[in-house]
Chain A
Amino acid sequence: MKITSGQIVIGILALIIGLSISIQIGALDGDVIEGGLVPIQKAQSLAQELQKIRNEKEILVEEVTSLEAKIKEIEEAESKDDILLQSLISELDKYKMISGMKEVKGPGIIITIDDPPAEDVNYSDVSVIMYNYELLLSLLNKLNDAGAEAISINGQRIVAITEISLAGSNVNINSVPTAPPFEIKAIGNPETLDSTLNIRFGIIDKMRNRYSLQVKIQKSDEVVIPRYNEIVKFRYAVPVE
């Protein structure tokens, strides 16, 4: 059989059609995107979803605050001329603050820790700071030692039973998954906190030089730290008088 020029053209055209259809399908199917070239709509949809969820959270946070205000109102109305109740209310306020159930503010520092920059020679796909989360434990410990009065990591208030655990590709704090960059906020004397962390061969030095992490420390006159928002159910511990 003789191959005509028409057949060649049709062959090439068929190839192009096949290719475009397969690219088309590849671009449109699948909800899971793993990076690479992604249609902008899909990338945006993730951002939008996050925004939506954040807004929802905002509303819930506001609801909690207003409910709490209402509870307090009732308590105060009940205790108008009751000294016992009034002292109880101030005790409650005090322990809400101590146990981390209240949003707080004060002078302090904000530390941002991120993985080594991508062009770094030691860079690998695994996150350095996540696989070495003992650095975070150590940092918290140093902050406490320097007299920090309240601390949060990525919006998670550190309370007595706060854990930091590596779970898959996230680090869970208060059982909420988070990922780098880690933003650590601490309230306390900014100068003391800053110099405790920055001493030579101290924790920040170690993070920067041994682990090539990107660390930024910023002193601030007003740091706002959110409340702890989980209801702790005690199953084993029984209070004793």
Chain B
Amino acid sequence: MKFRSILFFLFCVIVGLLISIQSRIITGTFLYVSPKVIQDYDASIKSEKTEIEKLKTLISEKEEKIKEYEAISGKGDDIVASMQQELDRLKLMSGYKDVQGEGALIILDDGTRELYEYEDPNDIIVHDIDLLMILNDLKIAGVEAISINGQRVINNTEVNCSGHSVRINNQFFAQPFIIKAVGDPVIIESALSAPGTYGELLREYGLILDIYKSINIRIPKYSEAVDYKFLKTIEEGEV
């Protein structure tokens, strides 16, 4: 009996300890966190990590540029060539240069089928959101340059449905919309015609969406002058 009670006493001590440890962890240190918050954190962390990767490539490129400059300093012609190259790259990126290359020509037009009884004619008409979605799908497909009816798509290109016509880069166009894109033709085709894509949806509604792959697509540059009224660059040291 004596042995038994010693054992019992030890047991009680252990349980007591465990409970007190447990309660210390629980009191004030447990927190209800909703799955959404965790997801948000995850997303932010992922996002910042991608950003950091990009910045690192940017830094190594800039460092190379400085090395290049230091190697050619004093020789006027070389630095001109190097700067010209940089300028061409910026123009290419922003759409201020004619480009050509592999790609696809896409024709988007209103449907020609008969409407069902009481069907809304809007179902078979091309809208601005259709064009926007197609443009976005092309960009996701990694396309490097796009034009609609000869208008280069740049960062502030608008596609505005205004009644019977559509305004793109401040110029008016009507159907059909001829979209040219420079990029991988196979990816472009699948981005617009694979099951579940927006292009496929448009076809199901009866709109016309034709894709012609091409080995040489030529896209004109953005032809209007830029005149920023509000924009100012921030120089180093400014906040």
Contact = CB atoms under 8 A, between A and B. Distances in A.
B233 A20 contact: no
A240 B145 CA distance: 13
A189 B230 contact: yes
A110 B108 CA distance: 34
Interface in B65-119: 65-66, 69-70, 73, 76, 79-80, 83-84, 86-103
Given A71-B66, A74-B73, A95-B96, A176 B22 contact: no
A164 interface: yes
B136 A169 contact: no
Interface residues of A toward B: which range?
35 or more
Contacts of A35: 33-38
B153 A17 contact: no
Nearest to B8: A6
A163 B184 CA distance: 16
B99 A238 contact: yes
Interface residues of B, number: 106
Main SS at interface, chain B:
helix
B6 interface: no
Given A20-B18, A60-B52, A159-B94, A36 B234 contact: no
A176 B38 CA distance: 18
A64 to B, nearest CB: 6
Contacts of B70: 74
B102 A236 contact: yes
Nearest to B70: A74
A236 B103 contact: yes
Given A99-B94, A236-B182, A134 B43 contact: no
A50 B29 contact: no
The 6 tightest CB contacts between A and B, nearest first, are: A35-B35, A99-B94, A163-B139, A179-B43, A106-B230, A67-B62
Given A40-B29, A149-B156, 8 more contacts: A35-B33, A39-B29, A74-B69, A92-B87, A170-B46, A231-B54, A234-B92, A240-B99
27 contacts: A6-B4, A39-B29, A43-B31, A50-B48, A56-B52, A60-B55, A64-B59, A74-B66, A74-B73, A75-B79, A78-B73, A88-B83, A97-B233, A137-B129, A141-B132, A141-B159, A149-B230, A150-B231, A159-B93, A160-B95, A170-B43, A232-B89, A235-B144, A236-B182, A237-B92, A238-B101, A239-B97
